[in-house]
Amino acid sequence: MGIKSWFAKPLAAFAVRQINKWKNNPIAAQERTFERLIRQASGTAFGKDHNFASIKTYDDFKKRVPIADYEDLKTYIDRVVRGESDVMWPGKPIYLAKTSGTTSGVKYIPISKESMPEHLNGARNALFSYIHETGKSEFIDGKIIFLQGSPVLERKNGINFGRLSGIVANHVPAYLQRNRLPSYKTNCIEDWEEKVDAIVDETLSEDMRLISGIPPWVQMYFDRLRARTEGRKIGEIFKNFSLFVYGGVNFEPYRARLEESIGRRVDSIETYPASEGFIAFQDSQQEKGLLLLVDSGIFYEFIPSDEYYNENPGRISLEDVELDKNYAIILNTNAGLWGYSIGDTVKFVSKNPYRILVSGRIKHFISAFGEHVICEEVEHAILSVAGQEGVEITEFTVAPQVSPEDGSLPYHEWYVEFAKAPEDMESFSLKVDLALQKKNTYYFDLVEGNVLRPLLMHKLEKDAFRNYMKSKGKLGGQNKVPRLSNDRHIAEELNEWISR
């Protein structure tokens, strides 16, 4: 055991003691956060426009601050981007995180001097929680890789701009700098495929012990490593590789292929970082779900997902959530986002402590016929059948086909890239359809009533989704393919990659 891993254990114990203070008193922590946020922002333009000075209770807040998406707050954010101070939070943000928006083009999410440490603490505490629970800290003595965006930032109007992962790269603690790969030069490469090849060059002969990134892009890194080593397993290339840290997407669709690439089991930690704030992390290898960070500068609200598009949806604080119910998560942050819907849905699996699963995206659904099929349901349908059939899924997406050219009944159209395809596609498709019918009674009724026909599934060529993302200029980084769309934009573009 090296000196870093030895020191990590008492540091982890201290960190967990601090976590337990708010973990065991979550409602009090949220109340303190609420009061602090309102008090600090009362003198801002947003605070004055919404009369923060008169807010005493959460009910007062709900009356004054509406639920908002990026477009709703854009007038204020544009003022921030122009360099104006005291708009949504005191002073200017120290960073603006650039993200891709579907309707707004590039979005700019403020990160303040108060919120930046919380992004870092979330990642750090995820590792400390793991060390404290398992006693395993040796990964700190070897090399660590974070597959992330470029750390090169733009500067305009006194504010630095960049991708969140690139911003965070500028704050890696000094004690990890010698361990961290890739090099700064390689990390600055913008072309993702060129960057991955350079990362392979730098890491192939190193003692890699922790690998972190979004699963599909980690898989691309693994594929390049194996191609360079005549198909050797990652666990053979990196004999001390012991910890995989991931976030950003549901891991399950990628698990089988990643584990096959590694060739042996390694521990994993799931995190829930967003440009808007670090929301949750997996604090236990034994318990289900991610620990909601209730003392990290975010006051949370929740809207039942089936009410989200109602004129007056229910809007509750943490105290009133129920288990196993899908909620749209709403953030109020110490970077100046108010009533902000980030578009994710979560489900609570525990209230003591509060642990969540990320169940999907509120806008990623299919309801062309009133079925309101959500991401959690399609993932369960295909993965449950794939597990039974020995099939491996690389990636998939689903869209409605409302008006088939042959005049037949409409259907859900699935585009699937397989790592290991089913022997009988027709049988596999039918089983997936039946699994979806069991998960969604509205879908069952529509198929049973001959309003919809069973799904149609296309097998895509190898690397179809990678090539699609490359064609859109979104290869790598934080970019992800939506699993569900209520339109056919993605589906029509994927038709060129259907396996003939």
CATH of the domain at 452: 3.30.300
317 falls within a domain: no
The answer to whether residue 100 scores a pLDDT higher than 70 is no
**Distances from the Cα of 175 to the Cα of 83, 119, 130, 189, angstroms:** 34, 18, 18, 24
* pTM for the structure as a whole: 0.81
For the chain, the average pLDDT equals 90
Nearest alpha-carbon partner for 283 in 180, 130, 419: 130
Q: Does residue 424 fall inside a structural domain?
A: yes
Give the confidence band of 103 by pLDDT, cuts at 50, 70, 90: very low
Domain count, the chain: 1
Per-residue model confidence as pLDDT tens digits over 373-415: 888 889 899 999 999 999 999 999 998 888 888 888 889 999 9
Per-residue pLDDT at 179 exceeds 70: yes
Mean predicted confidence (pLDDT) in 116-139: 95
Neighbours of 282 (CB within 10 A): 22
pLDDT at 102: 43
| Cβ atoms within 10 Å, residue 43 | 12
For residue 465, pLDDT over 60 is answered with yes
Domain membership of residue 322 (yes or no) is: no
Cβ contact 271:279 at 8 Å: no
Residue 352 located in a structural domain = no
Give the pLDDT of residue 459: 95
CA-to-CA distance for 375 and 386, rounded, in angstroms?
Answer: 16
Its domain, for residue 451, covers 365-497
Question: In the predicted model, is pLDDT for residue 157 greater than 80?
Answer: yes
Cis peptide before 182 (omega within 30 of 0): yes
Residue 381 forms part of a structural domain = yes
Rg of the chain taking only CA atoms, in angstroms: 23
User: Is residue 409 included in any domain, yes or no?
Assistant: yes
41 and 90 in contact (C-beta within 8 Å)? yes
**71/132 Cα distance (integer angstroms):** 42
Q: Is residue 474 part of a domain?
A: yes
Q: Flag whether 329 is in a domain.
A: no
Cα separation of 294 and 31, whole Å?
A: 10
Quote the DSSP letter at residue 323.
Answer: B
